[in-house]
Chain A
Amino acid sequence: MAAIELKGLTKVYPGGVKALDSLDLEIPDGEFFALLGPSGCGKTTLLRTIAGLETATGGAIVIGDRDVTGVQPGARDVAMVFQDYALFPHMDVTDNIAYPLRIKKVAKAARAEKAREVGERLGLAHLMDRRPGQLSGGQQQRVALARVMATQAQAFLFDEPLSNLDARLRLEARTFLKKLQRELGVTTVFVTHDQAEALAMADRMAVMENGLIRQIGTPAEVFQRPANTFVASFIGSTPMNLLDGQVRGERLEVAGCKLPVPSSVEGRLSEGEQIVYGVRPEYMTYSAEPVEGAFGGRVSIMENLGAAHLVTLEVNDTLVQVVVPEGSEPPLGAEGFAVPKDGRALVYRDGNVV
């Protein structure tokens, strides 16, 4: 088990595409770390570069105390779960789990014993003689995890570990993976494009865009205080309200409404400045009565979120969304007011949080 450190890591593909742009990142020993971003942001390239499947163009990768930048993948002492699990179809579960040990020339009996032990732990005991083709998606995933565990590597790398499971199983596997990682305590980096997955599983996460890390933090930090408008719009199951506004004296004028300046940015804004006002629908309360310092408008759309409703208010031709708990849904077309909670509203200047 070891920490992973990236120093100025750069990857340029032939043809000049910059997949990783001088990244610095430290992942402490035992952390469950998520790389999150839209497709093409470089998250998978970063994972593969840590694994050694891609060679870095510049910078350094340190695992534990060892600089592994130029080391072959097989000698880096990391293990990886691939998106398609990459189980060998002609080998049974035992042989698949024991494969890395076989390459390391562990005796046959010892590696079969290890495979059985790990397989048992992951609930595969009755499947050890099956071929991957005879297993369900969830079972295949556990075999891939077992293979990684059997290696006793310094760090685990998961490439979209849940994306090949159906929606129901994905939620179960999420809990299972998080529990397993906690028990094993092995430094684990996983890649995902699903922000809910990253928020749910990771101890810390990095949000990436175009080969750059746009924010690093705990899920709570990233959710509550997105460092820039990209992260703000990418994180959250309901999109954050990001509205153009202007500083007017002691108030902010946003979508034709006068709102109080959030206490966190008090005294740091100048008169007349153009800003972007950001507040999550979850961080506003709905009121049917007129309220001072709130968005006032007409209820135009209602979306059912299960235990709550997402209400879209039409505020002077701008759409503002607010989450309303069940039981207090307003009727369509009604006059409504959305009050931002102080301390949760953010102000962005030139795309970055103030």
Chain B
Amino acid sequence: MAQATSHPKARYSADAAGLGTPRAAAFIAPAMALIAVFLVFPALWVIYLGLTNYRLTGLAAAEPQFVGLDNFVKAVSDEGFWNSAWLTVQFVLGSAVIGQVVLGFTIAWLLRDRQGPLKRVVEGLVILAWILPGAVVSFLWIALLDRDGGTLNALLGIPGFAWLLDHPMLSIIIFNTWRGTAFSMMLYGAALGNVPPSHLESARLAGASGWQQLRDVVFPHIRGHILTNLLLISLWTFNDFTPFLLTAGGPDHKSEVLAVHVYNVALRGGELGFGAAVSTIILLINLVVAVFYLRLLRRKS
């Protein structure tokens, strides 16, 4: 004990559980093996595939040739890739950063002091959209937006309006906002519970308006939550494949976000090597986004 107090660092022993390195390694080995087989190996395999002309069918399927960086060069000089990248930016900014964060925070803020049925109903509905399986919600939305028998057109009294054909991006952005808001709402709901009431009251006594209270008290307090939330939903939305179930990337690639682009190129077009190269680029973009947010998060407020 005396030693522990004189060397504060020594209190946190490298071997807190007292297992010894071999036994500790044995405990984590199963998890590591699973991660290696299902995560690390496929990722490395994708990188390798991206360097070949591997195809789904034909001669190159039997004997793929090593083509170096050709696929990557092709990807960045491909108009379809840049179209998809731009659509993905719109999708992430529109449905995640603006849609889910703003809507999720707004609902959490409005419901923060409420009790009773209204809060439970709103939360229940929002969470329902989140927990339903993708195939089910896609079917519901196709039924909602259908040109002839769609519920929305019936409600608005504009039969024959083709939402998914005329406004495919708008449709999938609103769809994804609706689907994903629950996560942000719950995260902000928990975060707002941590804002000390006395700080808000102190601002109110100073005469601060609602917006000033948000700016001076709430946002500085939940900054970490906001950044974590942005990081998670940006990456989730970036890699989200559900839009495919609504529009399949169409019409005419107008809603082909990168996740859908890869699927169309690799599995429908059969160019597995090229698709793998695009996947690798997506992986790199994800890394950059993650590092950007983590930097912000680590920076002292």
Q: Is A107 interfacial (CB 8 A cutoff)?
A: no
Q: How far is the CB of B115 from chain A (nearest CB, A)?
A: 10
Asked whether B301 lies within 8 Å of A100 as measured between CB atoms, the reply is no
Main secondary structure of the interface of B (DSSP, over half): helix
Chain A residues numbered 66-114 whose CB sits less than 8 Å from any CB in chain B: 72-75, 78-80, 82-84, 86, 88-90, 99-100, 103-104
- Kindly state the separation between the CA atoms of A100 and B216 in the bound complex, as whole angstroms: 11
- Residues of B bordering A, CB below 8 Å: 196, 198-199, 201-208, 212, 216-217, 220-221, 301
- Kindly state the separation between the CA atoms of A51 and B200 in the bound complex, as whole angstroms: 13
Q: Known: A88-B216, A90-B220. Contact between A100 and B207, CB under 8 A?
A: yes
- Which residues from chain B contact A312 at a C-beta distance below 8 Å? none
Asked whether A75 lies within 8 Å of B217 as measured between CB atoms, the reply is no
Q: How far is the CB of A82 from chain B (nearest CB, A)?
A: 4
Task: Find A86's partner among B202, B207, B212, B301 (CB 8 Å cutoff).
Answer: B202
Asked whether A100 lies within 8 Å of B206 as measured between CB atoms, the reply is yes
Task: Find B205's partner among A73, A83, A84, A90 (CB 8 Å cutoff).
Answer: A73
Asked whether B196 lies within 8 Å of A53 as measured between CB atoms, the reply is no
Listed by A's residue number, 7 A-B pairs whose Cβ atoms lie within 8 Å are A73-B201, A74-B206, A75-B207, A89-B221, A100-B206, A103-B212, A104-B207
- Residues of A bordering B, CB below 8 Å: 51-53, 72-75, 78-80, 82-84, 86, 88-90, 99-100, 103-104, 151
- Kindly state the separation between the CA atoms of A100 and B201 in the bound complex, as whole angstroms: 12
- Which residues from chain B contact A99 at a C-beta distance below 8 Å? 203, 206, 216
Our count of residue pairs bridging A and B at CB distance below 8 angstroms stands at: 56
Asked whether A84 lies within 8 Å of B196 as measured between CB atoms, the reply is yes
Task: Find A83's partner among B198, B199, B212, B301 (CB 8 Å cutoff).
Answer: B198
Asked whether B196 lies within 8 Å of A74 as measured between CB atoms, the reply is no
Asked whether A86 lies within 8 Å of B206 as measured between CB atoms, the reply is no
Task: Find A88's partner among B201, B205, B217 (CB 8 Å cutoff).
Answer: B217
Known: A72-B204, A86-B196, A104-B207. 10 other contacts (CB 8 A): A52-B205, A73-B205, A82-B202, A86-B198, A86-B199, A86-B202, A90-B220, A99-B206, A100-B206, A103-B212
Q: How far is the CB of B74 from chain A (nearest CB, A)?
A: 49
- Kindly state the separation between the CA atoms of A74 and B212 in the bound complex, as whole angstroms: 12
Asked whether A78 lies within 8 Å of B205 as measured between CB atoms, the reply is yes
Which residue in chain B gives the minimum CB-CB distance to A104? B207
Q: How far is the CB of B215 from chain A (nearest CB, A)?
A: 11
- Which residues from chain B contact A90 at a C-beta distance below 8 Å? 220, 301
- Kindly state the separation between the CA atoms of A84 and B198 in the bound complex, as whole angstroms: 8
Asked whether A53 lies within 8 Å of B204 as measured between CB atoms, the reply is yes
Q: How far is the CB of B174 from chain A (nearest CB, A)?
A: 35
- Kindly state the separation between the CA atoms of A72 and B212 in the bound complex, as whole angstroms: 15
- Which residues from chain A contact B203 at a C-beta distance below 8 Å? 99, 103
Asked whether B202 lies within 8 Å of A80 as measured between CB atoms, the reply is yes
- Which residues from chain A contact B204 at a C-beta distance below 8 Å? 53, 72-74
- Kindly state the separation between the CA atoms of A86 and B201 in the bound complex, as whole angstroms: 9
- Kindly state the separation between the CA atoms of A193 and B190 in the bound complex, as whole angstroms: 32
Which residue in chain B gives the minimum CB-CB distance to A151? B206
Asked whether B208 lies within 8 Å of A74 as measured between CB atoms, the reply is yes
Q: How far is the CB of A160 from chain B (nearest CB, A)?
A: 11
- Kindly state the separation between the CA atoms of A72 and B208 in the bound complex, as whole angstroms: 11
